[in-house]
Amino acid sequence: MIIPAVGYVPDWMIALPVCVVGSLLTLLNLKFRGRLSRFERNFSILGAQIAVWFTWISTKVRSAQVDTLNRDIMMMAVGILLVFVISIFYGGAVP
Amino acid sequence: MLLLPVAAAALLYFAEFGRRTISIVSCGFIVLSLTVAVRCVPVVLESGMVYESYPWIPELGFNFDLMVDGLSVSVVFAILLVSGAALWFSYSYEEKLRTFSVGVLLFVSAMVGVVLSTNMFQFYFFWEAMIIPAYFIIAGFGEGKYKGMTAVKFFVFMHIGALLILFSFVWVYTIKGTAEFMALDMVGVPAAVPVLIFVGFCIKMGIFPFHNWLPDAHSEAPAPFSALLSGLMVGMGGYGIIRVLMLTFQLPPTGVVLTMALFTMLYGGIMAMAQSDIKRLLAYSTISQMGYVLLGIASSSAVGAAMHIFTHSLFKSLLFLCAGSVMYSAGARTMEKIGGLNSRLPKLFVVALVGILSLMGLPPMASFVSEVMIFEAMGADAVALLLAISAGVVTLAYGLVLLRNVFFGKPVRVKKLPLHLWLPQALLALVLVAVGLFPDMISYLMGVMA
């Protein structure tokens, strides 16, 4: 990426709340399904989960902190699984 | 600029006017407000800004200050142009015109207040004031069967963002002892503060993964208000990032912001391609276009981002008004039930074509200039540039899908489009072409940032 991760705010500090708040809002979206189609719901939930965790991991890769990468991939897997399970029981959105 | 829409709202609320007078009063006060904004321009160009100060809460040392610089006056132009067009359009569109106009005028005033604010708490006050009329308009005037739920969803999501911003503002105030934007910097401020502010503004902009509220709210709201939500309100998030994070805290953007911008551009575009409901397609397109604004911010191009906020507000409002016209004439909003409108409604076709070409970012439309400014600022990162151009291709694709499915093919039966519905769209189309041909008149003004 062209913009170097410099300045007062490091990449991980932006990625963390993006992941956490993004995941929470994605779950909240199940409460207010409204006009959302099945495709939109599934894409929104799983796509968002994968993307936010991908954003988090990409910060590690770019800043060469690969020593903690395995732990993060585990976190991503657990995070996606958790949202998947909640989606089935809470929203019935996942086929 | 700030008080005239409020005065119009009060007048309409307390007086018993007919439909024509309601329309004249609401549009007339917007034109007056626009005149005040235009009169500020020579002073801004000469001395950099116009500043007014009134006592507000003396115990806490807060003044009610209003500042007009090049950036804010340009955004105010967009707010007043679009809201004037939307109010004009409502004359033949909304049944309960009086209540609707009062809500819209209060909403417009709150947006102008956000743009002119000079301290954090005043900014937050107007930020909240923007949400309340919007909630009532979506709940009361919405066009779908889910309008009640959508209004609550909108309210909840907006307040999560607003509370993050309020929390950060109070945190900064306790550290720095001042709420004035001009007196603030990052010295001694924890890094978490700008991050929370950023997330709060991103929720308003509908940036991925905070976008969930946007397709529902923008497709369920009545068409003239969708034009304001999609054209203006989401842009306020971008304006907030520029004003608070770029100009006040002077933070350099990081890679994550760029990643979010590129992902949002592609995600919004791909989701737009999958829609058959025209308003929902436009709503997803707004998500994608806010990705462009964030890309400008990630590339440190405040003027490019602000220019795209300006141009997007014009063409997206135009397209939502076109969608309203299609719903009025054809009585449908899904593309399967519409077609061949170029022969049945040729005047609508012309203005919609200007809107769709602007959406695609083609010359000589104004959005071409703003997109070029953003891409130019990106530099030579091949991967980022490739992804950004891919998002442009996706935009082209869903723009063409919209054009083909609505305006070509087998013509459907339609009713005549009143002139009151078409003229405001023609006005916006004219401005889009004029700014596209003479972009300097806005981009130069935007560069005068305090």
Residues 6+ apart with CB under 8 A from B420: B88, B89, B91, B92
DSSP B138-190: HHHH-SSTTHHHHHHHHHHHHHHHHHHHHHHHHHHHHHHS--BGGG--STT--
- Whether pLDDT at B253 is above 90: no
Chain mean position to CA B306: 11
pLDDT value of position A1: 30
pLDDT value of position A36: 62
Asked if the C-beta of B124 comes within 8 angstroms of chain A's C-beta atoms, the answer is: no
Of B146, B164, B380, the CB nearest to A34: B146
- Whether pLDDT at B14 is above 80: yes
Residue B111: exposure state from Cβ atoms within 10 A (0-12, 13-18, ≥19):
buried
* CA–CA separation, B129 and B396 (whole Å): 36
Q: Which residues of A touch B164 (CB under 8 A)?
A: 21
Tell me what the mean pLDDT of segment B17-46 comes to: 93
Q: B100 pairs with which residues across the strands?
A: none
Q: Decide which of B294 and B95 is more confident.
A: B294
Of A4, A17, A22, the CB nearest to B195: A17
pLDDT value of position B270: 87
- Whether pLDDT at B239 is above 50: yes
pLDDT value of position A94: 40
Closest listed residue to residue B25, CA positions, set B13, B45, B14, B11: B11
Q: Residues B290-327: pLDDT tens digits?
A: 999 999 999 989 999 999 999 999 999 999 999 999 99
Other beta carbons within 10 Å of B418: 14
* CA–CA separation, B259 and B159 (whole Å): 25
- Whether pLDDT at A39 is above 70: no
Chain B interface, best mutation among A14, A30, A36, A50, by max B CB count within 10 A: A14
Tell me what the mean pLDDT of segment B260-287 comes to: 90
Instruction: Report the mean per-residue pLDDT for chain A.
Output: 62
Assign A26 a pLDDT band (cuts: 50, 70, 90): confident
What ranges do the domains of chain B cover? Answer: 3-446
pLDDT value of position A70: 61
- Nearest chain B residue to A59 by CA distance is B256
Contact A34/B149, CB-based, under 8 Å?
yes
Distance, in angstroms, between A26 CA and closest chain B CA?
7
pLDDT value of position A68: 61
Q: Which residues of B touch A29 (CB under 8 A)?
A: 153, 212-213
* CA–CA separation, B38 and A54 (whole Å): 47
pLDDT value of position B11: 94
Strand, coil or helix: what is B379? coil
Tell me what the mean pLDDT of segment A28-44 comes to: 65
CB B352 within 8 A of CB B428: no
Tell me what the mean pLDDT of segment B137-163 comes to: 90
List, as own/partner pairs, every contact residues B361-365 make where C-beta atoms lie below 8 angstroms and the sequence separation is at least 24, other chains included: B361/B392, B361/B395, B363/B436, B364/B433, B364/B436, B364/B437, B365/B311, B365/B315, B365/B432, B365/B433, B365/B436
Helix axes A11-31, B147-176, angle to 10 degrees: 150
Residues 6+ apart with CB under 8 A from B57: none
Q: Residues B390-412: pLDDT tens digits?
A: 999 999 999 999 999 999 988 89
pLDDT value of position A62: 58
Chain mean position to CA B141: 20
Q: Letter for the amino acid at B124?
A: Y
Q: Residues A52-63: pLDDT tens digits?
A: 666 666 666 655
Instruction: Report the mean per-residue pLDDT for chain B.
Output: 91
Asked if the C-beta of B47 comes within 8 angstroms of chain A's C-beta atoms, the answer is: no
Assembly ipTM: 0.73
Tokens for B71, please give them: 């950036």
